[in-house]
């Protein structure tokens, strides 16, 4: 009888140790799904260059001038810039969809459109990266990461978020 209690206690201890080993100590990573669309004649018929950047902070991104971000983004953003993608929206291809797994240290997504003429246009946006949802301790086989779904429209007045 005493042996059964000790065995039961040991078995419970081993099971708790195994379950703790299945849990993750790193924060879950989120995904972002961006649908970037350009309206007709948004850039006078010329291709519109769009940059999407993963950032640890958006402070430098939001305070830097257009030409610094266009010509020397690494200098303007320093260590806040984790990764960059760029693409062109053209009159023939007016949309681009990105599904990208974020990095654990990313906190913001910076989106920049290189319009031919800025004249008061909103040429940059910053979106917060959602934190991934950690799975329950008993559901170690699946993850339910947070996602950011956004439609970014490049219009005649600049960039805007249509849905999020």
Q: What does the pLDDT read at residue 54?
A: 94
Q: What is the pLDDT of residue 10?
A: 62
Q: Where are the beta strands (DSSP E) in the chain?
A: 31-38, 48-55, 81-89, 95-101, 108-114, 124-128, 147-155, 158-163
Assess if CATH 2.40.160.10 describes domain 26-163: no
Residue of 57, 96, 43, 51 whose CA lies nearest to 73: 51
Whether the per-residue pLDDT at 156 is higher than 60: the answer is: yes
What is the model's pLDDT at position 2? 58
Model pLDDT for residues 9-65, shown as the tens digit of each residue: 666 666 665 555 555 544 555 778 899 999 988 898 899 999 999 999 999 999 999
pLDDT digits (tens, 9 = 90+) for 63-120: 999 999 999 999 999 999 999 999 999 988 899 999 888 888 999 999 999 999 999 9
Angle at 160 between CA 158 and CA 164, to 5 degrees: 165
Minimal CA–CA distance to 77: which of 89, 94, 64, 95?
64
């Amino acid at each position: 009888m005493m042996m059964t209690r000790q065995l039961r206690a040991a078995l419970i201890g081993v099971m708790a140790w195994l379950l703790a080993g299945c849990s993750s100590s790193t924060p879950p990573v989120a995904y972002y799904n961006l649908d970037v669309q350009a309206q007709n004649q948004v850039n006078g018929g010329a291709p519109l260059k769009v940059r999407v950047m993963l950032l640890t902070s958006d402070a430098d991104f939001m305070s830097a001038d257009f030409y610094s971000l266009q010509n020397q983004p690494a200098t303007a953003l320093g260590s806040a810039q984790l990764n960059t993608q760029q693409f062109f929206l053209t009159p023939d291809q007016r949309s681009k969809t990105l599904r990208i797994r974020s990095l654990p240290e990313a906190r913001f997504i910076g989106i920049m459109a290189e319009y031919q003429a800025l004249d008061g246009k909103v040429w940059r946006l910053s979106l917060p990266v959602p934190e991934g949802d950690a799975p329950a301790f008993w559901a170690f086989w699946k993850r339910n990461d947070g996602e950011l779904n956004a439609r970014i429209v490049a219009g005649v007045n600049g960039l805007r978020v249509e849905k999020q």
